[in-house]
A and B are shown apart, each in its own frame.
Chain A
């Protein structure tokens, strides 16, 4: 047995009571603060559900074609989406897609500025990196339960949990991409008298964009990885089908809904990756090496 040096019970009690106090006194305010997230999620979800299925398929196939200019990826995307429709998973898939898109958009808005800040200051990087480690390794239930206590079960805690889990790779890759921009190009830009803003938007971000896009790709994948857990607290969608399948020992339901998640992951992974490759070729980082 590890000897007991100090009594940690007061600490535990303080944490529990602190959370209870927050729930009692601040939950309305916090809910109001998080409501823009809910508005965003609802808007995306309503739009996706309201749009006819063929239009969504057409849009995604079109994006796939724009990303690659070849026929292979559009065919894969078409087959994947048809699978979702045929297996009667369409509405659930749209709900899950809405959660993923809302989480990714929020992560982009938050992570890229943080990444920029990190890339400019060693101090900030030293502070933020452990926080990112924590966000990625802390079991999600640990922060899921307090979030549910504050916001009540529903879409907000699900979205917040997804963002917490999915944002770190984008922050890391934004920081990395901005810091590893070819120093000779940066120096040339400085020599011509550019100011920091001109360098950030004219040189750093364009040259870091492939890396940032790889971060967005990671974020979409991590967001999809959270959908089953998120559905436990009311996110609905494909994850809920998986949960029900497990609960009722309906293997087929769990399997097909699970495959639906895989299919969504493949579609978004391939599309974002192709855009990344296209961008790299355009910048000239990939070709000729």
Chain B
């Protein structure tokens, strides 16, 4: 890595470069095989070692919700544990807030975990013998804060997540959703810039999950943290992610904004996820509209509108305008364009002509298999 790349790394909250993790007895032999170009199955057959992460490079800009999506066994939980070094990589580089995590001593690592990153877990990881209040204050206690100070801090966050009145309950007395709110409050109480969320909502009922997602989005608007969110649920990724990385067998398949992934899946694996997704909800009209002021339209929708928002309008109107924040029309859209966008990746569809011209850099897909390429990926926080 050159110095220039190092400098640019500090713009990102989290930068991972060629991170590879091999589980097993002789990781370095397996790593050599992997570098020599052998497939993962081959490496496993030859050495008995399992490839957890395969040359993962990601750049996560500040203030983003960055979602890593993958099926179970894709290595996503392994990936998130590399950021705070709960798992040591076999090779690669991990830079968080401009500091190389892998070069930290034990003490530095503890200080780093106490002050810079915090984590929410799928299985909550609450201390069953402590009250909700003491659980939320746990991180502050580890940090060495006095009792009064940490309980004050904890009480505030308990209220924020909507658990006021439960301060003295034990975790087991709460429902799953409430327990995860405790987990979230515990992480927020640390007031770190970076929050790692490992399938934080996966253990919850669908309705509760949806409520938690909305709460997270809302909190994020106020707090503007960098959130690395792991999920196996593509809908969840689309709903909360500013950017999404799709992971399979420990390798990144595609990184991009939700619409990029829906509109231009990089390969069959990504396409499989996209197939089942409600595209009308995932695609924003501005990414498929005809740009330019053009003729004025009778009705207009904001830039952030999704396809499902404009569909009813086509019952009455040929064209629907798209307006920016000031109400100025910046583009327009017809039912045809919407249908084309929605139909493109629907199974059984016949070959279609290219979509209408879009803003070129948005349309570009970003497969980032090679580290060289990944260095050029920039963040586009919404």
B partners with A: yes
Q: Which listed residue (B138, B143, B172) contacts A288, Cβ 8 A?
A: B172
* Contact indicator B128/A193 (Cβ below 8 Å): no
Most chain B beta carbons < 10 A, residue from A182, A188, A282, A287: A188
Q: Are the CB atoms of B110 and A185 closer together than 8 Å?
A: no
Given known A191-B118, A192-B118, A192-B139, contact A185–B113 (CB-CB < 8 A): no
Is B321 interfacial (CB 8 A cutoff)?
A: no
| CB of A32 closer than 8 Å to a CB of B | no
Residues from 99 to 154 in B contacting A, C-beta threshold 8 Å: 109-115, 118-119, 121, 123-129, 138-139, 141-143
Question: Within 8 Å of chain B (Cβ to Cβ): is A153?
Answer: no
A284–B172 CB distance below 8 A:
yes
Q: Cβ of A193: which chain B residues have Cβ within 8 Å of it?
A: 109-115, 139, 142-143
Residue B231 interfacial (CB < 8 Å): no
A37: min CB distance to chain B, Å: 34
User: B32 near A: Cβ within 8 Å?
Assistant: no
Of B123, B186, B190, most A-chain CB atoms within 10 Å: B123
Q: How far is the CB of A276 from chain B (nearest CB, A)?
A: 14
The answer on a CB contact under 8 Å between B86 and A190 is yes
In the complex, A285→B170 CA distance in Å? Answer: 12
Contacts of A285 in B (CB 8 A): 128
Contact residues on A (Cβ < 8 Å of other chain), bracket:
20 to 34
Please indicate the chain B residues that have their CB under 8 angstroms from the CB of A206 in the complex: 127, 129
| CB atoms of A192 and B127 under 8 A apart | no
**Cα of A187 to Cα of B128 in the assembled complex, Å:** 14
Name the A residues within 8 Å of B138 (CB-CB): 189, 192
Is the Cβ of B126 less than 8 Å from the Cβ of A188? yes
Chain A residues positioned under 8 Å from B142 (CB to CB): 189, 192-194, 198
- The distance in angstroms between the C-alpha atoms of A241 and B126, with both chains bound, is 53
Bitwise, A250-289 to B at CB < 8 A (1) or not (0) is 0000000000000000000000000000000011110110
Q: Which residues of B contact A7 (CB under 8 A)?
A: none
Q: Is B171 an interface residue (CB 8 A)?
A: yes
Q: Judge if A203 is at the interface, Cβ distance under 8 Å.
A: yes
B-side contacts of A171, CB under 8 Å? none
Report A56-86 CB contacts with B as 1/0, cut-off 8 Å: 0000000000000000000000000000000
Closest partner residue, chain B, to A195 (CB atom): B110
Please determine whether B111 and A185 come into contact, CB atoms closer than 8 angstroms: no
Chain B residues near A202 (CB, 8 Å)? Answer: 127, 141
Least CB separation from B140: chain A residue: A192
B171 touches A284 (CB 8 A): yes
Q: A190-B86, A192-B190, A195-B110 are in contact. Are A282 and B121 (CB under 8 A)?
A: no
- 6 A-B contacts, Cβ less than 8 Å apart? A184-B125, A189-B125, A193-B142, A195-B110, A207-B128, A285-B128
- Closest 4 interchain pairs by CB? A188-B125, A193-B113, A284-B172, A193-B114
Chain B interface (Cβ < 8 Å from any Cβ of A): 84, 86, 109-115, 118-119, 121, 123-129, 138-139, 141-143, 170-172, 186, 190, 196
